[in-house]
Structure 1
Amino acid sequence: MHQKALLFVLLVAGLLCVSLAPTCWAQDQNQDEDADVEDDLDLDLTGTEDDDELDGDEETPPAPKVTYKAPEPMGEHFFAESFDRGTLDGWVLSKAKKDDADEEIAKYDGKWAVEEMKDTKLPGDKGLVLKSRAKHHAISAPLLRPFTFDSMPLVIQYEVNFQSGIDCGGAYVKLLSETPGLDLDQFVDKTAYTIMFGPDKCGEDYKLHFIFRHKNPKTGQYEEKHAKKPDADLRSYFTDKKTHLYTLVVNADNSFEVLVDQTVVNSGNLLKDMTPPVNPPAEIEDPDDHKPEDWDERPKIQDPDAVKPEDWDEDAPAQIPDEDAVKPDGWLDDEAEYIGDPDAIKPDDWDEDMDGEWEAPQVPNPACESAPGCGPWKRPMIDNPSYKGKWKPPMVDNPNYQGIWKPRKIPNPDYFEDLQPFKMTPFSALGLELWSMTSDIFFDDFFITNDRNTAERWAADSWGLKKAAEGAAEKKTTPAAEYKKTDEPQPDVKEEEEDEEEEDKAEEAKSRPGGLALSLTRFCSSPSSGSVTVWFIFLQLQRTRMMKKRLLLRKRRERRRPRQKR
């Protein structure tokens, strides 16, 4: 009777489990779907995907497209050129020859073109391109009106892209001085300029020039003043094949800034940071002053009263034989360290009349291999404790010392003081006079103004678009998603898969008699058919749930795994 009652209870429990199974499955389904949605959000995915889509290649979403629009100059400006007309209208090609060059390369016959970059990221954007290598190039254009240095700053900026790299050549500009004889079609290296600015490279010497020509107020002669070398590493601007914006700002307070991509790489003051200095020294050394013959510059002299000690032995050697040394036991005095090779044979073509008497080559004596040494034994040399060397009188202060002689100072007859070097010679044209061993140097968006905000607006409408387009063309990834195109799982994916495999094992363990079913097994320990039935039903439910869980985990891994190129 007791067994029947127990069997009835177990059957009721089994039926209850079966009736609740759909509800449990629905809850599991909802939880798993929620987990899938969270995974989709973590992976920056939208919408749902079919299993077939998971098996295929995922395409990277296209980068936002940057549309080119020609910049329009706004505000006060003296020069603005974006080359969007597609022509060289307004530019003058030099017809001159260099005076100090061979006839075959003296001409400025390097070719220029207005075209897009070879690998343009911004269709429709054109620029000025230096097309020839190993040739002289010269081209220039007049300003809207001459720039006069008064109380407003000078701001000049333009873009450069070394499309094919650069071996040896420049990409600098010259601001050509306003002179009565300025003839742009005769533009050469000796044409007067006010400022030279821009990148230049030869070999491993990377430069960013800022040079201005200063007029000596006393003589009227001009002298180049060079800014100090930038502290920044300039290499990448020449090698990364990106478009870089070069800007020079010179202020009325004599301060200056050199910027690349709107970041300051050099700054200073025209009065303090130029070489040679703008102003000469007020005093100079007298060129007619000469050092007297009896001038004594020796701070120390040998003591004239010193006498060599009587026991000073100048002839004692620096080293002597060690009298305490003892010849090692087993030393082979009668054996030579090297002997003639007993296996050597005189060559058949050896001619003793021509080659001399043949001797076998020397080899180490095998008898010496186990001995401490061979040949006549000699005592080793040690430092001589009595050695003193040549005697010299000690040094003492020179009572007649007069110091290092220097010529006297006199007023500098060429002295002047220019406290406003900013007031440079006005300029009326912009020119490029270049030699390059590399072609396809791209120039664009020249702009000259006296207002920094105006220059920044021009840069935003021109270089800003290029920067955005070039940036959009680059692959945007986060460190966790930088996967290589390889069959080998990446580290972070591998870690996730290992974690999920551990979860699989845990789920599988739950379905075994030793897992979650253990409590039910203990409950159903009675050898009744009812307990076996309930245990079997529960185990089947657990296995079904585990298989579904593993299928969902496999889908997640497929979504996270990097796509392979086919």
Structure 2
Amino acid sequence: MKFTLAAFTAILAPAAATVYFKEQFNDDGWKERWTVPSDWKPASELGDWAHTAGEFNGGSSDDRGIQTSQDARFYGLSAPLEKPFASADKKDLVIQYSVKHEQKIDCGGAYIKLLPGGKGFDSAKFGGDTPYAVMFGPDICGSSNKRTHVILHSNTKDENLLIKKNVNTEDNQLSHLYTLVIRPDNTFEVFIDNKSVRSGKLEDEFDFLLPKEIKDPEKSKPKDWVDEKRIPDPDDVKPEGYDDIPSEIPDPDASKPDDWDDEDDGEWEPPMIDNPDYKGPWKPKMIDNPDYKGPWEHPMIPNPEYIYDSEMYAVCKEECTHVGFELWQVKSGTIFDDIIVTDSLEEAQQFAEETFFKKKDKEKELFDDAKKKKEEEEKAAREAEMEDMEDEEDFMGGDEF
């Protein structure tokens, strides 16, 4: 077979990226592309989505996102992918979007879900009980409970598996970019602001597989095994009269008050105080156990039920057809923007350069300027208040008319 230069170049060139979904929310048509669920919660419990450029916008005035706008509400909406993603194609799965907590979030979710359509996805009923393939993004409640969720669906177990170790998240009032990559070689990687913050094998970070080894069911700790490191000293004897020592004694420094009347007040008794000679219940001293053998370790054997799953990555075994947000927020104000689902990390990074990173520095500059201005105004207000107080003190201390 004879190869032309063009054919050889085509073989070496990487396959063109496929973009399954892209959303920037910059036009009013976003409402036609996204569906707010009508049968998930009562209308009174669902919050409205605002379409806004937000504060400290580092982009143009028409560069907008969608924002949670009412406190203590559930939020939901979904949109179809432009093309279904199927794990059977053995391509990387890349999910990326930006999050901005303008409200200085105290408790609320900000994660995105990738949703399978094989079970008849119904956008009107989309909610917390809807099956999902991936749940990814920030979830914050309080100062100590902060994480970037990475939850993947296991088809073998038919369970949603949470990553074992917490992935940190950002909770300030600036925009941050969250990227998840799941690869057909059963590895994954999480990026925040295009910096890798967690990566590894799916089998190491999630409970996709049964343990390779189990405790030998035929073995148990021998009855004569001694694992007590310290024991009471058999030669230590309780001192004679130890139990006769009271825990409290009358206060020797107390005396009957001069105005005490035995007939009216009864016979006077001094108050009780802790007895300094009382050492508490007697216990023999502890010594090293001469028969100590150390902690018993259960022998391990290969798990006969262990099977390696080569398709842990296949979260979209049933084609994934939608993305969605399904959230609860105590204090609203989170803005979502610049979503992409693709099979190429390079494609996602290029999209980030055109969107998130294009406005990131300007946003920070505007935020810092506004923060400085607010601090100056608060300082001026405090100084004015102090001057008013001093003027009032001078007036009150002046000559009387």
Instruction: Normalising by structure 2, report the TM-score.
Output: 0.69
Q: Looking at both structures, which has the greater relative contact order when contacts are Cα pairs under 8 Å and sequence separation is at least 6?
A: 2
Matched, 1:280 2:210: yes
Which residue matches 2:199?
267
Q: Trace 1:118-267 onto structure 2 (pairs within 5 A).
A: 118-122=55-59, 123-149=61-87, 150-204=89-143, 205-216=145-156, 221-230=157-166, 232=168, 234=169, 237-238=170-171, 240-267=172-199
Quote the offset at 1:188 in angstroms: 1.8
Matched, 1:79 2:21: yes
Q: CA 1:391–1:250 in 2, change beyond 3 Å: closer, same or farther?
A: closer
Cα-to-partner distance string for 1:372-407 (whole Å, 9 max, x where unaligned): xxxxxxxx98xxxxxxx9799995538xx8984859
Q: For this pair of structures, how many residues does the alignment match?
A: 335
Q: Alignment partner of 1:140: what SS?
A: strand
Give the one of 291, 296, 310 matched to 2:224.
Answer: 296
CA distance in 1, matches of 2:161, 2:289: 49
Cα-to-partner distance string for 1:168-188 (whole Å, 9 max, x where unaligned): 110000000131411112112
> Partner letter of residue 435 of structure 1?
W
Quote the offset at 1:429 in angstroms: 0.6
Give the one of 421, 424, 444 matched to 2:315.
Answer: 424
Q: CA 1:394–1:268 in 2, change beyond 3 Å: closer, same or farther?
A: closer
> Partner letter of residue 83 of structure 1?
F
Matched, 1:111 2:48: yes
Which residue matches 2:326?
433
Cα-to-partner distance string for 1:404-426 (whole Å, 9 max, x where unaligned): 4859868545x432033122223
**Is this contact kept in 2: 1:95–1:108, CA < 8 A?**
no
Quote the offset at 1:359 in angstroms: 7.2
Q: CA 1:470–1:361 in 2, change beyond 3 Å: closer, same or farther?
A: same
Instruction: Normalising by structure 1, report the TM-score.
Output: 0.51
Quote the offset at 1:283 in angstroms: 5.4
Q: Looking at secondary structure, tell me which structure has more strand per residue.
A: 2
Q: Alignment partner of 1:272: what SS?
A: helix
Q: CA 1:111–1:405 in 2, change beyond 3 Å: closer, same or farther?
A: same
Cα-to-partner distance string for 1:17-66 (whole Å, 9 max, x where unaligned): xxxxxxxxxxxxxxxxxxxxxxxxxxxxxxxxxxxxxxxxxxxxxxxxxx
CA distance in 2, matches of 1:241, 1:461: 21
CA distance in 2, matches of 1:450, 1:170: 26
Cα-to-partner distance string for 1:228-259 (whole Å, 9 max, x where unaligned): 43565x3xx21x21111111122222222211
Q: Trace 1:132-531 onto structure 2 (pairs within 5 A).
A: 132-149=70-87, 150-204=89-143, 205-216=145-156, 221-230=157-166, 232=168, 234=169, 237-238=170-171, 240-274=172-206, 277-282=207-212, 284=214, 295-298=223-226, 315-316=239-240, 337-340=253-256, 356-357=265-266, 396-397=290-291, 404=296, 412-413=304-305, 415-425=306-316, 426-473=319-366
CA distance in 2, matches of 1:248, 1:185: 27
Task: Kindly report the root-mean-square deviation, in angstroms, between the aligned alpha carbons of the 2 structures.
Answer: 4.3
Quote the offset at 1:114 in angstroms: 1.7
Q: Alignment partner of 1:113: what SS?
A: strand
> Partner letter of residue 48 of structure 2?
K
Q: Trace 1:97-108 onto structure 2 (pairs within 5 A).
A: 97=40
Cα-to-partner distance string for 1:72-116 (whole Å, 9 max, x where unaligned): xx9631111111112412101112236xxxxxx697632122222
